[in-house]
């Protein structure tokens, strides 16, 4: 039995001035670092995911066809291209505190951390089993997309899940509220602070 903090997609492109910016992203990154500095001892594992989309590829229809506009439902502006500045962790997130790094969306949409792999190619699901993770706190960006998907997949995998909303940033208030309602309905604990 072990507990992990899952830090979802705290990347330059998802924060202010990024390609797919969420208002409050940079502040959430800073609050996550503060949380880690104060509470890292409460976790057995600190795991962070990053979108890591393949350049010059639709990434499974995640990016619109050439010349088409994104619909912001299924297709999105180009973001988090592997190795580009926008794919890096936001500088407000102290990455030295992260123990395990997961990349997702390599040639695919990749909303959930469960769709990702370690640098050695191990699936996140296999990593959860190997580490005996039974409880997770989920934080990061965006509350209404990748945080939501990651929390729901963790719950479906039999893990006890809590989302700390004070350590997240979302795309839009209405979709954040809808996502939180869905998470609560799935039996996921929601708390504004740790």
22 catalytic? Reply is: no
Give the containing element (helix H, strand E) for 47: strand 45-51
Residue by residue, DSSP assigns 132-158 as: TEEEEEEEEE-IIIIIHHHHHHHHHTT
**Active-site option among 9, 13, 137, 153:** 9
Q: Which residues lie below 8 Å from residue 137, measured CB to CB, with a gap of 6+?
A: 3, 4, 5, 6, 43, 162, 163, 164, 194
9 catalytic? Reply is: yes
Cα-only R_g, the chain: 15
**Active-site option among 80, 104, 144, 153:** 104
**Active-site option among 51, 80, 146, 153:** 146
Residue 144: both structure tokens together: 């209404």
By annotation, the residues acting in catalysis are 9, 104, 146
């Amino acid at each position: 039995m072990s507990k992990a903090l899952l830090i979802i997609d705290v990347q330059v492109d998802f924060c202010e001035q990024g390609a797919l910016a969420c208002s409050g992203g940079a502040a959430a990154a800073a609050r996550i670092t503060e949380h880690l500095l104060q509470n890292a001892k409460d976790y057995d594992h600190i795991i962070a995911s990053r979108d890591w989309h393949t350049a010059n590829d639709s990434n499974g229809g995640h990016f619109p066809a050439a010349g088409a506009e994104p619909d912001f439902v299924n297709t999105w502006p180009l973001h988090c291209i592997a190795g580009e500045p926008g794919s890096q962790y936001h500088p407000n997130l102290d990455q030295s505190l992260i123990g395990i790094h997961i990349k997702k969306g390599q040639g695919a949409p990749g909303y959930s951390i469960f769709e990702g792999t370690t640098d050695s190619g191990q699936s996140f699901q296999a990593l959860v089993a190997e580490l005996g993770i039974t409880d997770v706190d989920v934080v990061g960006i965006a509350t209404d997309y990748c945080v939501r998907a990651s929390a729901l997949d963790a719950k479906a995998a039999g893990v006890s899940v809590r989302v700390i909303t004070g350590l997240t940033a979302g795309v839009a208030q209405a979709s954040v509220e809808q996502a939180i309602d869905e998470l609560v309905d799935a039996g996921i604990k929601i708390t504004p602070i740790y």
